A and B are shown apart, each in its own frame.
Chain A
Amino acid sequence: MAEVTLRKVVKRYDDVEAVRGIDLDIPDHEFVVLVGPSGCGKSTTLRMIAGLEDISDGEITIGGDVVNDVPPKDRDIAMVFQNYALYPHMTVAENMSFGLRLKHYPKAEIKQRVTEAARMLDITDLIDRKPKQLSGGQRQRVAMGRAIVRNPKVFLFDEPLSNLDAKLRVQMRIEIKKVHQKVRTTTVYVTHDQVEAMTLADRVVVMNHGRIEQIGPPNELYHRPATKFVAGFIGSPAMNFVPCRLEEAGGLLQIRVGDAIALPIPPDRVARYRTIPRDTRLLLGLRPEHLVDAQSNTSATFQPFDATPDVIEPMGMETFVYFPLAGVQLCSRINPAIDARAGQPLRLAVDLNHLHLLNETTGQVL
């Protein structure tokens, strides 16, 4: 068990900078998820921690030791790959014990560790099978077992669930969480799936274009995103962004969207928003669940307005309503009991306490 730190870590491929100076502190026992779109540098960062990629600049430490020039086998890490990477000619038990056998552990200890890991992952019955006789989910369990038996300082996961179908992915997600709760090994997990990131992580690291956009616990990223990228990336369906402007009406500060809608600013934010220069190009950020039907949300913190839906998506426990506003398409989440129809006017309401104001030019949440 150990903490992992990254100091100004850079990865260059010829002229391209894949990772542009990352700083990250991962305390002992923590489960950190690196999330971002393809090409954001998350896998490269993980591979640099593993030692599979050289570090162009900066410093990585594991358990206090600088590992920049330490080969992967001496870093005491274990890695789970997207395509499992099981040795096809070895049985499950041989796959799991390969690392221990290379290090000449006593046979009894190897057997005990493999048995224990197999029991934890519920693969005891499969121990003598070859990888090709296993399903995708079982293979991923074996890959995890191979990491667990080593009892390493750090677990590294590189999109381990991407090859599984949706149902199995949910199941394995829970398994991974359970395993971490039992072994408490420091874990760095890479995924492009924000749901995986939110559900698994103690802290989520959102990456974009080789930089860290924001680091924080899942709920903090969700409710207090720092940038437009994070706001749009975390949450499904994604946050709505509408062009808007700030205006003073009768001594009160309000947000105007299009011609029809004016939203009074909650008192606790007035001071903060008043300092924004009036010529700033602004975006209003609203999650679908904060853009609701006016019928079931009548308190003063909801500001009603009229809209004409284009598309209605009933999901059972909720209904998504898509409608145009100020030149963009918005998504709102309404009570499924309401009879909304495409083309027919519908009264919606904005949850004023959960609106976000963004600088359109810099992408910063204000």
Chain B
Amino acid sequence: MSTVTIDKAGPTRKAKYGSMSRDRAWALRWSYFFLVIFTFVSLVPPIYMLITSLKSSTEISAATNPWWVFHPTAENYVALLTSNQFLTFFWNSALVSVMVVIITMLISIPAAFALSRMRFWGSATIATGIFLTYLIPDTLLFLPLFKMFATFSNWTGIPLINHWYVLVIVYPTLTVPFCTWIMIGYFASIPKELDEAAIIDGASWFQTLTRIFIPVALPGLIAATIFAFTVSWAQFLYPMVFTTSTDQLVMPAGIITTLIKGDVFNWGQIMTGALLGAAPPLIIYAFLMDYYISGLTAGATKG
């Protein structure tokens, strides 16, 4: 009887299974270790913003524990949300971002469709060219762009500099190349037979795009939309350069320009403004996260 029991729990088998699970356990421990560090690093700034936004100016400048709110107050939120100036920044940001997304999509989708599907002379070169333009840093571009807009205004009399709508013209130079590139990759992953079937079914190129490609590539489209929106919403350098009047400013530039007066930093309101400014992209991400992830991993596996 005892012999049988020992055989069943044979030492070799036990060791084998034991080592498998020990391996896995260690892998998990390391994963947790790095994930916790990463999460901590990414979450500390927004948490600090939240804590500071709930403090009064007195408490911020007092030498108390910066990680704790002793007298929570909503005064920063009230001040910002009732200030016409802040609401103008918010409205300008929203207007610019939405218009940039629309313009980007109207250009990128047909461009990507043409470059990925219609074989024409030079299409490969153009596709590479689009990607190369994305590699030029925007810090190099703002000077020539400024000069271009100034000259254009001189010639035509249409004022561009120091108007929010100049950003609607500028931002697509950043968003269109990248979004076109994403969409080319996405469209390329759609089997060629699908558009051939549509064409034989009687669809025109435009119908193939609107009725087959756009619905099938929707995750990629959403990824591109989120990208375009985030870039426009968070852009800091261009609005600082191209707009100066407070009624023309978008949020990132507006917060810095109006809440820092000389060497006086209104930290409570700056943090509140940054937090409120981060809200729209966060909400959009939360809703579209599933699509966004499948958009980024498209083509990784078959089917």
Contact = CB atoms under 8 A, between A and B. Distances in A.
A50 B215 CA distance: 26
Given A88-B216, A89-B215, A89-B216, A83 B200 contact: no
Contacts of A103: 202
A81 B191 CA distance: 11
Contact of B202 (A79, A81, A83, A102): A102
Interface in A102-138: 102-103, 132
A303 to B, nearest CB: 53
B217 to A, nearest CB: 10
Contacts of B202: 73, 99, 102-103
B194 interface: yes
Nearest to A74: B202
Nearest to B194: A85
A52 B196 contact: yes
Interface string B197-224: 1111111100100011001101000000
Contact of A78 (B191, B193, B198, B200): B200
User: How extensive is the interface on chain B, given as a class?
Assistant: 10 to 19
Nearest to A76: B202
Interface in B12-50: none
A50 B194 CA distance: 14
Contacts of B199: 52, 71-73
A77 B197 CA distance: 11
B205 to A, nearest CB: 10
A356 interface: no
Interface of chain A: mostly helix, strand, loop or mixed: loop
A50 B199 CA distance: 10
A150 B198 CA distance: 13
A79 B203 contact: no
A174 to B, nearest CB: 24
A79 B216 contact: no
Interface in B265-303: 303
Contacts of A89: 215-216, 218
Interface string B172-194: 00000000000000000001011
A323 interface: no
Q: Which 10 A-B pairs have the closest CB atoms?
A: A85-B193, A99-B201, A85-B197, A73-B202, A89-B215, A81-B193, A102-B202, A72-B200, A79-B200, A72-B199
